[in-house]
Amino acid sequence: MALMTSDMYIESLRKLNMEVYLLGEKIENPVDHPMIRPSLNSVAMTYKLAEQPEYEDLMTATSNLTGKKINRFTHLHQNPEDLSKKVKMQRLLGQKTASCFQRCVGMDAFNAVYSTTYEIDKKYGTEYFNRFVEFLKYVQEEDLTVDGAMTDTKGNRGLSPSKQADKDLFLRIVEKREDGIVVRGAKAHQTGMINSHEVLVMPTQTMREEDKDYAVCFSVPTDTKGIKIIYGRQSCDTRKLEGGSLDVGNPKFGGHEALVIFDDVFVPADRIFMCGEYDFSGILVERFAGYHRQSYGGCKVGVGDVLIGAAALAAEYNGVERASHIKDKIIEMTHLNETLYSCGLACSYEGYPTEAGNYEIDMLLANVCKQNVTRFPYEITRLAEDITGGLFVTMPSERDLEHPEIGRYVEKYLAAVEGVPTKTKMKVLRLVENLTLGTAAVGYRTESMHGAGSPQAQRIMISRQSDLNHKKQLAKDILDIKE
């Protein structure tokens, strides 16, 4: 098959039997649940755009494993052009959905696991690389969405995994069998898990020898026995249960996160890609983090484009679009947004081949990209709120607007400039609310801070990658300092 249509994708999820809980209830039909469906629509867009000829170059690629045309979200990067197309694809999808489209984590995990398993096999003579290649061929052929699961709940963060009072606070191997392993634990903040066919699990940090049971990487279907998915709350999320479309802000698209429990889950041997090789855990984590920090130079920029557009519309509907300070704020938003995009492209164009043959981004520039992402979207958000005005958080509801008695007052007193319907103005204000404070803020503002690692994680990597001794030598050479 190699490429699914968006309709085929949606129907494929109906065949899964995931154990999903939301607001304290077990959900029998996640596909059509009103709180979940907008996030599914966002993933479906990654399939829909791949069907359209005008986006074929960005959305598809030729597999180096099979030679077939595949969705770029299942691709192993073969050159700097592939890396840059990834960022451009992510910006496009951010523009089309104004939300998180959820397939990036799996794509970034593929590329990190591919090169790492190659190097593990080289050192230990294991079979992980070939296993992973066969798994990825299956993913590419079926055009699957794969959740990348790295973040453990961590418990007492001052203690290593094996020193925790509860040994399950980091996901671990609890039993080794001839035909596979049994794992127990949890993964937090799992983006798009309910909309995924498979979950690819990775260790969350560098492990030591005493923590080798936590150095595990594998993939299983998302409806495997023992996997329990607990849907995460988002601000304003129950508005999706009210009916109507105005108050949700983004009526079609969204994202979701989940706490995923692995309650003694069996993993067959052919799906195990790391099993105790603790000395490679940090390498895998850093590579995945690097790829994912590159991703934020695309997806966050696309959503930023929508927010900038919504703020400009709000100014226009309020009749202040020609004010010099409004123009200057929009210029600043654009400058910040394009700076993020420049970083995403820069680390891509400076990419280089791994031993396995796929391409890795420039780690220093990828971490600089994400460090900027922890700051600039907050300023873009502040400026959007400034331009839009306070009404976007005090406005009456859609039901008030449509009420037979009081609706006419809402219509009259919240009027926009002449020629623009009040409801149109209200839609734009709700979109700004959604992007800055509501459910989409999880995938834009808050995720900009914590996704792909906290700001300090990037600063640690920037320090490691900065090659300070080389810079000091440059100064010595200029001054003829000999030692």
Q: Which residue is catalytic, options 119, 198, 257, 360?
A: 257
* Residue 347 annotated as catalytic: no
Find the catalytic residue in 292, 341, 347, 360: 292
For 438-461, letters b (16+ CB in 10 Å) and e give bbbbbbbbebbeebbbeeebbeeb
| 343 is annotated as an active-site residue | no
Q: Helix, strand or coil for residue 178? A: coil
Q: Distance between CA 207 and CA 423 in Å, rounded? A: 55
Q: What CA–CA distance (Å, rounded) separates 258 from 231?
A: 5
Identify which of 218, 213, 219 has the alpha carbon closest to the alpha carbon of residue 276. Answer: 213
CA distance 351 to 360: 5
Of 47, 296, 341, 444, the active-site residue reads: 296
Concerning whether 447 is annotated as a catalytic residue, the answer is: yes
What is the DSSP secondary-structure string of 296-321?
Answer: HHHHHHHHHHHHHHHHHHHHHHTT-T
Which is catalytic among the residues 74, 116, 191, 222? Answer: 191
Of the residues 299, 343, 347, 369, which is catalytic?
299
Which pairing describes strands 258-268 and 180-187: parallel, antiparallel, or unpaired? antiparallel
369 is catalytic: no
**100 tagged catalytic:** yes
Residue 137: which H helix or E strand, with range? Answer: helix 128-142
Query: CA 378, 367, 187, 43: dihedral to nearest 10 degrees?
Result: 70
Angle at CA 199, nearest 5°, toward 173 and 81?
120
What are the C-alpha distances in Å from 448 to residues 164, 237, 440? 29, 19, 12
Candidates 100, 217, 347, 369; catalytic one: 100
Annotated catalytic residue: which of 46, 97, 104, 119? Answer: 104
For the annotated catalytic residues, the residue numbers are 100, 104, 191, 257, 292, 296, 299, 447
